[in-house]
Amino acid sequence: MNEIILNSHNKSLIRKKRFWNISLIAIILIGIILSSIIIDINSSNLLNGIPRLGDYVSQILPSLESSNLFLSPKDQGSIAYWYFNLPKYLKLLFETFNMALLATIVGSTLALFLSFLAAKNTSPNSLVFFTIRRILEFFRGVPEIIFAILFVWVLGIGPLAGIIAMTLHTTGSLGKLFSEVHENSNNKPIDALKASGGNWLSEMKFGLLPQVLPNLISYVLLRFEINIRASTILGFVGAGGIGQELYLVINFNYYEEVSAIILLIILTVISIDLFSGYLRKNIIGVEND
């Protein structure tokens, strides 16, 4: 008797699950079809445009000659000729790197303070929780480039505008991520601190922080990678760094310089990604001993 009930219950569960799975697939398919109609994916523009992409890429490629490859900057076809502006690029790249670094440090510090107020389990009251959550959403919701345009207009062209733009965005997104980490933490040690008469600050410092720190560091490093990429783009609106130079050479059609700069940026991003990925793995590895 019990077996029959169990079986029929099981079957109805499977039926229910199957229904939801099929509905989900149907909804996704309809979504894809609708959106391709809306963005007009079949238009001839796309088909005609693709070859032009190849044209541009071939134009920006440097004309290197194998015999002259290692000659001086004055000889056409050498790498040095292609990268004649390297000292300037490196200086700007360093500026970009520093913009990202500063924005990450300041942004994650602000995010850390706000995250305690924005997590359900650590916020002193629901009004603070609600307000800080909305503020973080605003900082996260507005794209960095909009902040950058605003601050370039306010502060003038230069890296400061980019740094502030990235700091705000970093605060918004890390603040939310941090507060979610807090919410997933174990509240038992915090209870113990409360029960021993500790104040809110010591509850956070000794009860919460040791639990969440590895996760927070991992998020900060990830954000640093993102900021390195973002800070190159912000230069396009005059917010300093290598992006500003890239925008210039694209506009003036200095084709070979475009590829020189892009290659440099790609190399930088890859090496920082690798390095911070290695760090993140090590931090988590050490913590899981």
DSSP H or E segment with residue 258: helix 255-287
Closer CB to another protein, 38 or 195, in the complex? 195
List all residues 6 or more positions away from 1 whose beta carbon is below 8 Å from its beta carbon: none
Which residue's CB is nearer to another protein, number 44 or number 126? 126
Name the residue nearer to another protein (CB basis): 172 or 207: 207
Stretch that binds another protein, among 189-197, 219-227, 244-252, 274-282 (CB under 8 A): 189-197
Strand locations in 126-259 (E) = none
Considering only residues 192 through 251, tell me which ones interact with another protein, judged by CB under 8 A.
192-199, 201-202, 205-207, 210-211, 213
For residues 113 and 127, give the distance between their C-alpha atoms in angstroms, rounded to a whole number: 16
Per-residue x/- marks for another protein, 58-97, CB under 8 A?
A: ----------------------------------------
Among residues 121 and 211, whose Cβ is nearest to another protein?
211
- 283 binds another protein per the rule CB under 8 A: no
> What's phi and psi for 55, nearest 5 deg?
-55, -50
Give the distance from CA 138 to its chain's centroid. Answer: 16
Is residue 176 within 8 A of residue 118, CB to CB? The reply is yes
Identify whether the C-beta of residue 104 lies closer than 8 Å to the C-beta of residue 162. no
Binding site for another protein (CB under 8 A): 188-189, 191-199, 201-202, 205-207, 210-211, 213, 287
